[in-house]
Amino acid sequence: MGLKPVLTRDFGQEGLIGLQGYERTGGYGAFKKALQESTPDALIEMVKKSGACGDGAAPASLPATSGVSFPRASIRAT
């Protein structure tokens, strides 16, 4: 059984540069699904439990959720 390409499976297709091309090939699909099927509190807990660290802007030793612990009243629906 051969390996299936994951990162390069769409290489060579026309129009992949830009947001529309990314979304056309499934980009942001999991993100959109999570927003539709979960509450904000559930998503924050999921990220906290994952143990993910860093986001490229912060030191890698900081949990990814270090800036997400804020009062729920401060979140407004958009």
Q: What is the DSSP string of 22-53?
A: HHHTTTTHHHHHHHHHS-HHHHHHHHHHHT-B
The boundaries of the domain holding residue 62 are: 19-74
**In-domain check, residue 25:** yes
The three-state secondary structure class of 20 is helix
| Total domains in the fold of the chain | 1
Is the pTM higher than 0.85? The answer reads no
**In-domain check, residue 8:** no
Report the share of the chain in percent with pLDDT over 90: 8
**In-domain check, residue 4:** no
**In-domain check, residue 14:** no
**In-domain check, residue 39:** yes
**In-domain check, residue 31:** yes
Q: Are 53 and 60 in contact (CB under 8 A)?
A: yes
Residues 13-51 pLDDT 10s: 888 888 888 888 888 998 899 889 999 888 888 878 887
**In-domain check, residue 11:** no
